[in-house]
Each structure stands twice: as structure tokens, then as C-alpha cells.
Structure 1
């Protein structure tokens, strides 16, 4: 199954969940998403999502100097981001339960009186 479209719909939620667990820089967030099972997530998608969530006020950022290379820009979640995470988590769970119910009980979707 091509999960590209599914991933686009939940990438904000996944990024917020990862950053809510612990602040992280771009590649670290990408690595944690992949380690969590989103192996098909692309670099550009994650970096774009981080920038967009930052611009929307859901994330904050700060720079940490590095002795082994360029400084790293870390992202942390803001109260606005936590509110968004809570709303989207509730929406995701409701949606997932609905789809699961449809898959488990397809006969419930047949209109009354229609032939199955």
C-alpha cells in the first residue's frame, strides 16, 4: 500500500508527538519518526513541516553550538503546539476508530432495504 497520502495527512501530528516527547533538531526528528515506523517519510517533508509548524507558532526553536560541525537548530513544542497536538490526536483516534469499524463491519454501510 502506498502510504504517501496517509503520511501527508498525519505528518503534523507525528512531528508534534515526537517533539512533545523531547526537543530535537531536524535530522533527529526525522530519525525518530523513521525509528517509530514511518520509514517512508522524506527529509524535505519533515524539514518543511518543522518550518511550517514553527511559523504557525506550534514550535519554538533555539540554536545549540556543536564542536563537531555546524550549529544545530532545535525545535520544542509551545502551548499552542500542545493544544494542536491534543486536538489532532482526538481527531485521529476518532477517524481511526471509524475506519476500523467500517473494515470490521462493512454490512453496517449498506443502506436499509438495499441489496447487499
Structure 2
């Protein structure tokens, strides 16, 4: 990674990661490690679990996700995270905003290109 890109990536993640988590939880409840694996697959959205659990706690405190404990055949019970109605509303709001925002950024940064 070129020097400086890490800072840019950190800023972009900060703004979008919580909505990526909400999107992952839209179709089904997931436990933390599963969320981390899915977000970390490409090493772009998340490069370690260190930021995920504080983010999940923040989403829970803000009422965007709820949690349940479920027994696991592979060890101790797991905490599963799922969207609340407020979380669904926040995700839909982000989706309505993201497209025009992304398009404006793409348009602006490509203006200097031939």
C-alpha cells in the first residue's frame, strides 16, 4: 500500500463500515466472528477484528441491532446480532444517500482524467 493510502482507507471505512454491517445483518442474524470473516474477505472493508466489536456494541447501544444468545455445537453459546426496525430504517436511508454520494465523488475525482 502506498504511503498515505492507509489513512484514506481508514477514513472511508469509518464512514461506511457500520452500514456494511447493517447490510450483512439484513437477511439473517450473524455472530461476531462470522461478520468479521465476511467483512475481512477482501482486506478492504476491515483488516482485523479490533474495530468490529466496539462497532457492534455502539450499534447495539444506539438501537440499530439487537442480540440473542444461541447455543453452539462448537463451543460456548454465541451472541448473534440482528437488525432492529430502526436498523432497517437506517440502512434504507444510507442506501438512498449512498448512490448519489458515490456518483458525485466519482464524477468529481474523475474530472481531472482525460
TM-score (norm 1): 0.81
- Among 70, 80, 92, the alignment partner of 1:64 is 70
Task: Give the Cα separation in 2 of the matches to 1:65 and 1:78.
Answer: 21
Residue equivalent to 1:11: 17
Structure 2: which 5+ residue stretches go unaligned?
Answer: none
Count of residue pairs brought into register by the alignment: 107
Checking the alignment, whether the CA contact within 8 Å between 2:40 and 2:48 is kept in structure 1 is no
State which structure, 1 or 2, has the greater radius of gyration over its C-alpha atoms: 1
Deviation at 1:103, TM superposition (A): 2.1
- Among 94, 104, 107, the alignment partner of 1:88 is 94
Does the alignment pair 1:77 with 2:83?
Answer: yes
The Cα offsets for residues 26-71 of structure 1, whole Å up to 9 and x where unpaired, read as 1111111123663543312111111111111111110011232111
Task: Give the Cα separation in 2 of the matches to 1:106 and 1:21.
Answer: 40
Task: Give the Cα separation in 2 of the matches to 1:75 and 1:102.
Answer: 37
TM-score (norm 2): 0.83
- C-alpha root-mean-square deviation of aligned residues, in Å? 1.9
